[in-house]
Amino acid sequence: MSLVAMTVAAQGNSSEAAPAERANPRRWSRLLRPALGLALPVGLALAWEFIVRMGWASGRLAPPPSVIFATFVDLARTGELQRHTLVTLGRVAAGFGIGVAAATVIGAAAGYSPLVRRLIDPSVQGLRAIPSIAWVPLFILWLGIFEASKVTLIAVGVFFPVYLGLMGAIQSVDRKLVEVGRAFRLTDVEMVRRILLPAVLPAYVLSLRSGLGLGWMFVIAAELMGASEGLGYLLIDGQQLGKPAEIVAAIVAFAIVGKATDWLIVLAAAPFLRWEDVVRQD
């Protein structure tokens, strides 16, 4: 082989190796990103464990992570943790679905039509100011203490942020985009599909995440309505029996499941938001 051929081959090999070398840091970056988010809670947990082990605090009312983990294991071994988590997850899923469906229809109508907005928005904004706990006696009176009242309360909590986010996103669509659609003589359906929907989708996803977060908050109030199952019931049971480790374990379970469901929304929305040309700091 000539010297020129050997040089060309070496350059080809180096050019093929370069993308692979660049890919490795990216792969490691994707793996380390979730670990970075765990650094703060894990660090605080280890610090509290150390403080209790050193005898600087009793850990009776604020149990250390080792006690909380043991409580998790006991609850999981008996099946209580799985049962209560699935019950609460089912309630949040049902309430989230109903709330999002209603908020999407009403919010889209209010954002698109000034007449509808003037008609219903003042009433919706007044209802939005009512605390969640104020709905509890009314829903118990109307729907009883069973699942219907709990799911309805969660749906109310989900409705308002989704409605407000979608209505505001539609109102904030750039006027020039709408004028371009009218210049091309798009129908109302085409205007929604090709201009309004892509323009409002990022804000809509954020409102869904906000609504889901409120849904997890409202499920606590919902499970105060005479519930015998659910993570909220586990919280009340720990309070009544004087088990702080059980209370903290239920709170941690709320945090884990809530974060997992929020991540699912982000994951599901990602393929529809690839067109965005925005500054990202991943």
Alpha helix locations (H) across the chain? 3-53, 65-78, 80-112, 114-128, 132-143, 147-171, 175-183, 188-191, 197-222, 231-240, 244-269
Instruction: Tell me, yes or no, whether 115 lies in a domain.
Output: yes
The total of structural domains in the chain comes to 1
Instruction: Tell me, yes or no, whether 13 lies in a domain.
Output: no
Instruction: Tell me, yes or no, whether 33 lies in a domain.
Output: no
Instruction: Tell me, yes or no, whether 141 lies in a domain.
Output: yes
Cβ-based burial of 82 (10 A; exposed 0-12, middle 13-18, buried ≥19): exposed
Buried residues in 52-61 as b, exposed as e (16+ CB within 10 A): beeeeeebee
* CATH code at position 164: 1.10.3720.10
- Contact present, 144 and 204 (Cβ < 8 Å): no
Residue range(s) defining the domain that contains residue 117: 82-269
Instruction: Tell me, yes or no, whether 120 lies in a domain.
Output: yes
pTM for this predicted structure: 0.81
Instruction: Tell me, yes or no, whether 252 lies in a domain.
Output: yes
**What's the pLDDT band for 222 if we cut at 50, 70, 90?**
confident
| pLDDT digits 0-9 by tens, 130-178 | 887 788 888 888 888 888 889 999 999 999 999 999 999 888 887 787 7
